[in-house]
Amino acid sequence: MTLTPEEINYLREGGRRLVLVLERLRQEIKPGTNLRLLAKLAETEAKRQGGLPSFQGFEGYPAPVCLCVNDQVVHCLPRDIQLKDGDIITVDMGLYYQGLHTDAAVTWTVGRVSPSVTRLLDGAYAALLAGTNEVRAGAKVSSISRAIEKTLTARGLTIFRQFVGHGVGRKLHESPMIPNFVDRGQDPTLTSAMAIAIEPITGLGTDEVITEADGWSTRTADGRPAAEFEHTVLVTPTGYEVITPLETLIGSH
């Protein structure tokens, strides 16, 4: 989907506001924080920024944000639990602003974590950057996927192949899909003024996941931790523009 110049300006502003919401949530990432209260804060902050949480109501998803702790992978409903020292938490959120969606995710540490968990988070973020560096008009989606797959594999990290990135903009999920591995099937070409969400989702163990009783939350079958970093990227004629920059959000890992 090609965005108009006016829509691109709204996308930029929506992305800026989504980052502000995430920065506010980051302040609450500490031992003792209740996940349901964190989700309520996400909803409040989205509205304070003049938008709405993109995920709430999308295909029936009931919450304003996905909050995945430790071995949870994606699509996790906020639970009535408190964060503990040594946890990791992925906050995945979209913002609907002026008719356009942006989408971003960060995995944060809660206190001290093991070296293997640090390796997991560093690898996931490195894969995000590697994939993003391949973005430009005329590039194939496979170039993004190859860079992500190569980065994760080189670091000994798992790729959950059932979860992929996607186009984003007028709808939360649009074409093209952006796999975190080279898909031997269709290989779309990126076009200028297209927005995509790149989201490496990776773990330390096997790639098998289990869907929990709520029908949404997924966790690793072996109980090993998982992590995700995601940002919205605008395709330009010569490269890319990151719409939801994460640099101010990742210092805690």
Tell me if 12 sits within 8 A of 96, measured CB to CB.
Answer: no
Q: How confident is the model at residue 252 (pLDDT cuts 50, 70, 90)?
A: very low
* Residue 186 pLDDT: 84
Q: Tell me the mean pLDDT in the region 36-56.
A: 98
* 235 contacts: CB under 8 Å, gap ≥ 6: 135, 136, 137, 190, 191, 192, 193, 194, 195, 196
Portion of the chain with pLDDT greater than 70, in percent:
99
Q: Is the pLDDT of residue 251 over 70?
A: no
Annotated binding site: 75, 92, 103, 166, 173, 199, 230
Annotated binding site for a divalent metal cation: 92, 103, 166, 199, 230
Amino acid identity, position 100: L
Greatest CA separation found in the chain?
A: 48
Q: Tens of pLDDT along 138-183?
A: 999 999 999 999 999 999 999 999 999 999 999 999 999 999 999 8
Annotated binding site for substrate: 75, 173
Domains of the chain: 5-249 (3.90.230.10)
CA distance linking residue 116 with residue 217, whole number of Å: 24
Q: Which residues pair with 241 in a beta bridge?
A: 234
Instruction: Count CB-CB contacts under 10 A for residue 77.
Output: 20
CA distance linking residue 104 with residue 106, whole number of Å: 7
Residue 78: half-sphere exposure toward Cβ, Cα within 13 Å? 22
* Residue 152 pLDDT: 98
Q: Tens of pLDDT along 59-72?
A: 999 999 999 999 99
Q: What is the pTM of this model?
A: 0.96
Q: Tell me the mean pLDDT in the region 98-125.
A: 97
